[in-house]
């Protein structure tokens, strides 16, 4: 058995298919997941394979079907709840925060909640402010939820399968503009543990710490970074809760410098937390302050040129690199 090259979209679909085929208690529910085969076609073919009892089209009622999924998980099933976009999860925020995240604790361990909430997040390309938000910090903030954000098809496939098998509620945020990206995955089945970062590139001058689309922002800037004579290390966290803190400390202690790249707003973000971890645990290893490149602290503009200027881009990343290395 070797490797095959597939898209991020196909990785998500393969994970769903394999887990539904493996376990009859796994079912999928969400808006347009069945007959329309998903807004981003990540559920293509699943209705035909598994039928309407296990691939359930819902009304536009996120709070309602998220609650149904939590109840089903309490009864021993393993629901996968798709939000057409994570922006719409805000309608179901109370269900995730006050029910899914807390029921194991508040029931004294009587109820496990093995539910996976998944769908696309981040900026989608000229979708304006209400549909272009990276909301991961809201969910990382809440004890009881696990939060996963894969950057590549390999990570998407292995991490989604693990998330579906986990006995805790998992927030699985797929990069909205990553569905057409491609990469190699093994033909045979594999799993990736939650809470394990991936060193995507070894380097010596500074550490780029990123996840999801942040990894791709780093790649877009790589030509300019290397032309300037710098050799960065890239650590993809992949899982934000649990988080692989030891991998963060290892890379920062090696290079002495850290640049965090994230798609979200800068205030009270996951990047803020990672920066705090580094400052508290690697202070005497640092040769310069930790820097961050995030979305600008504004609602996402609709205009294409303003959206590009708002997000991390090679120019903004390169400016941070020069400051970091000065």
Per-domain residue ranges of the chain: 3-186, 198-325
Per DSSP, 285 falls in state G
Instruction: Give pTM, 2 decimals.
Output: 0.98
CATH C-level class of 3-186: alpha beta
Distance CA 288, CA 265 (A): 23
Same CATH topology for 3-186 and 198-325: the answer is yes
Q: What burial letters (b/e) apply to 215-253, b meaning 16+ CB within 10 Å? A: bbbbbebbeebeeeebebbbbbbbbbbebbeebbebbbe
Q: Low-confidence residues of the chain, pLDDT below 70?
A: none
CATH C-level class of 198-325: alpha beta
Position 1 scores a pLDDT of 77
Q: Using CA atoms of 41, 42, 44, 49 in order, give the dihedral in degrees to the nearest 10.
A: -160
Distance CA 262, CA 105 (A): 31
Position 124 scores a pLDDT of 87
Q: Which residues are catalytic?
A: 62, 131
């Amino acid at each position: 058995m070797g490797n095959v090259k597939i898209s991020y979209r196909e990785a998500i679909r393969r994970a769903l298919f394999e887990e539904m085929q493996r376990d009859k208690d796994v079912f999928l529910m969400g808006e347009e997941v069945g007959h329309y085969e998903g807004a981003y076609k990540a559920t293509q073919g699943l209705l035909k394979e598994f039928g309407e009892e296990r691939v359930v089209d819902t009304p536009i009622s996120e709070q309602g079907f998220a609650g149904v999924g939590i109840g089903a998980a309490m009864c021993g099933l393993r629901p996968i709840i798709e939000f057409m976009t994570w922006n719409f999860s805000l309608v179901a925020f109370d269900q995730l925060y006050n029910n899914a995240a807390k029921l194991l604790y508040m029931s004294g361990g009587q109820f496990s909640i093995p539910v996976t909430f998944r769908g696309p997040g981040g900026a989608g390309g000229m979708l304006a402010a209400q549909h272009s938000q990276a909301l991961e910090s809201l969910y990382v903030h809440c004890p009881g939820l696990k939060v996963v954000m894969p950057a590549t098809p390999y990570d998407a496939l292995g991490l989604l399968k693990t998330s579906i098998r986990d006995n805790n509620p998992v927030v699985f945020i797929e990069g909205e503009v990553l569905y057409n990206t491609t990469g190699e995955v093994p033909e045979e089945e594999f799993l990736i543990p939650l809470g394990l970062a991936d060193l995507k590139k070894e380097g010596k001058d500074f550490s780029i710490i990123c996840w999801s689309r942040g990894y791709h922002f780093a790649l877009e800037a790589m030509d300019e970074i290397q032309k300037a004579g710098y050799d960065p290390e890239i650590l993809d966290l992949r899982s934000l809760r649990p988080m692989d803190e030891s991998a963060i400390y290892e890379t920062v202690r090696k290079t002495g410098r850290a640049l965090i790249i994230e798609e979200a707003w800068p205030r009270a973000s996951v990047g803020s937390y990672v920066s705090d971890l580094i400052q508290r645990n690697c202070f005497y290893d640092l040769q310069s302050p930790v820097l961050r490149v995030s979305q600008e602290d504004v609602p996402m503009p609709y205009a294409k040129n303003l959206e590009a200027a708002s997000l991390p881009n090679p120019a903004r990343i390169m400016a941070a690199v020069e400051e970091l290395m000065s």
